[in-house]
Structure 1
Amino acid sequence: MKQRIITASILIPLAIGWLFYLPVEYFSLVAAVLFFLAGREWGRFSSPSSATAFGLSYTAILVVTYYFSPLQLILDGTIQPLVRGILLSAIIWWILALVMIMRYPGFESWWQQRKWLQWLFGLCTLLPFFWSLLVLRGYLFRDDPGAGSWALLFVMSLVWVADTGAYFTGRAFGSRKLLPAVSPNKTIEGLMGGVGAATLLAVVVTVKVHSSAQQSVAIIVSSVLAVLASVLGDLTESLFKRVAGIKDSGSLLPGHGGILDRIDSLTAALPVFVVSYLLLS
């Protein structure tokens, strides 16, 4: 617990500075570092016994992917079909991930021994997450740069509030396991409590920002979908760790595990929120 508190006390100010005080160009560079570090950890899922070698190999793949990504389009305030395709592909991937989770154990045999598939799953997880960070921070609210930072903090807060609500509701009322084979501690009651707490936050925010009726509906619906997706992101990483036989994705953050352990919920929540909001607003 002491390690967790010390690490959090260092990370929170850094995260606030990253969100609010860096121009989009430098914000994207920090996001790219997170992208690469998370990708290196993903290599452990496919090869726990030789994690470093495969982690570095996978990072090289991510570097090439990042190099050929049309980053300047976001910085210029445009979204090309390629970027939209990457974001929409996240929805397809998370539907597949839901199937993989629901049918575990037994369904993992078709991908467990195929490293290229696991690396592809990593790209489908991390690349849309990276793009959704940039779209939400630098595109959707490009006329008001500060709004993008607040929007990102809002989605992150949705996930934190949902986690907190799920924890306390699950402790108080949890009796029905959600998916015990993947994550034994999660309950249906906890899920409902988390969604309820996050929905309340979304309603309060829409009232405070005086949004239009259409925008309010877009924010609330996107928020609920994002929270549900955040649970899926958490469960998906738990599935890969369970299959790989490892407890944490890494040890970069003392007391918290690895980068993936901290962003697993956001890897699903952010792309789902961005796509939903783009479609509804």
Structure 2
Amino acid sequence: MLKSRLVTAFILIPIVIAALFLLSPIKLVFVSLAVCMLSAWEWGQLAGLSSRSQRIWLLAISFCSLLLALMIFNLPDYLPFMQILQAQYVLWAAAIIWWQVALLLVLYYPNSATFWRNSKTLLLVFGSLTILPFFWGILALRQYHYGINHFIGAWLLLYVIVLVWGADSGAYILGRMIGRHKLAPKISPAKTWEGLVGGLITSSIIAWIFVRYTPIIDAAAPLALLICSMVAFFVSVLGDLTESMFKREAGIKDSSHLIPGHGGILDRIDGLMAAVPVFAGLMLLVFNAI
């Protein structure tokens, strides 16, 4: 299991780096749309949709995504997405409202499941509140100061991705080695407090490397970056637990089998879906970094 995870990670990371630094923002839009559409398809399974209903849901997502892409096509490359009022509200809702609700759902599980267990509508709303802010967060970070430096946003986005994936790997390794105390036994018995500490240590090392050897420090004040990084780390853990909760209720282990050793798209980016919009919202709205 660990070997397949590492092999897949070594394959995916260069692809992600190439997409961030070689694709223009408008091309990254379509890559992000593809990822989000696949995530929506997998979320349909978590919501208990039948195969036919999943196809209808996917068509609806595709239609909305194409409309959104057409809107973005009409924007110049240098216009920051954070100046779009809708993007600000979506990011703010993701950071303040939805993930606070998700935290309550996780803390009070399984009692909290009685409110949404049999509601496909609520589960689809939860999916929309997870996927859409993630999409906007990617675009907002990628276009950060694009008119001044075409790549500073790519560094910021890469930083969040590596921070979350590195923390996840650190938590997995240390949790398997010395994990004894369960973090959320009713949701994910394999996760431990020792693993959480391992993830925090790993993310701290990654943050130090990025600050020292990349231009990311030019994009944010050290204190703001530290606060945003810490919050993003803990919210990524919440994102992981939230998806695990929904999978447990749906009676499935993996959202799909698309990525060897990792399961589906949602299994690989569940932490990112929480961390990216929260990090972007804090950096670009709370700390007024733009």
TM over 0.5: yes
Closer, same or farther in 2 for the Cα pair 1:251/1:76, shift >3 Å?
same
Distance 2:267 2:225 in 1: 26
SS of match in other structure, 2:261: coil
* 1:14 equivalenced with 2:19 (yes/no): no
Q: Deviations over 1:159-191 (max 9, x none)?
A: 122123223333444332111000101112221
Q: TM-score, normalised by structure 2?
A: 0.87
Q: Which amino acid aligns with 1:149?
A: A
Which residue pairs with 1:232 in the alignment?
238
Which residue pairs with 2:93 in the alignment?
89
Closer, same or farther in 2 for the Cα pair 1:14/1:161, shift >3 Å?
closer
Identity %: 41
Distance 1:185 1:94 in 2: 22
Closer, same or farther in 2 for the Cα pair 1:16/1:29, shift >3 Å?
same
Distance 1:222 1:37 in 2: 28
Distance 2:53 2:115 in 1: 20
Among 149, 152, 160, the alignment partner of 1:147 is 152
Q: Which amino acid aligns with 2:15?
A: L
Q: Deviations over 1:77-120 (max 9, x none)?
A: 13211110011111211111111111111211111111111111
Q: Which amino acid aligns with 1:60?
A: L
Instruction: State the 1:21 CA deviation.
Output: 0.8
* 1:109 equivalenced with 2:109 (yes/no): no
Instruction: State the 1:74 CA deviation.
Output: 7.8
Return 88-97 or 210-219, whichever deviates more: 210-219
Instruction: State the 1:4 CA deviation.
Output: 5.3
Distance 1:87 1:12 in 2: 25
Closer, same or farther in 2 for the Cα pair 1:212/1:262, shift >3 Å?
closer
Which residue pairs with 1:133 in the alignment?
138
Unmatched segments (≥5 aa) in structure 2: none
> Counterparts in 2 of 1:1-281, with a 5 A limit?
7-8=8-9, 10-47=11-48, 50=50, 52-69=51-68, 70-71=71-72, 72-73=74-75, 75-78=77-80, 79-91=83-95, 92-208=97-213, 209=215, 211=217, 215-278=221-284, 279-280=286-287, 281=289
8 Å Cα contact 2:144/2:152 also seen in 1: no
Distance 2:12 2:206 in 1: 23
Unmatched segments (≥5 aa) in structure 1: none
8 Å Cα contact 1:3/1:255 also seen in 2: yes
Q: Which amino acid aligns with 1:123?
A: S
Distance 2:116 2:176 in 1: 35
Return 56-65 or 252-261, whichever deviates more: 56-65
Closer, same or farther in 2 for the Cα pair 1:213/1:33, shift >3 Å?
closer
Return 211-220 or 270-279, whichever deviates more: 211-220
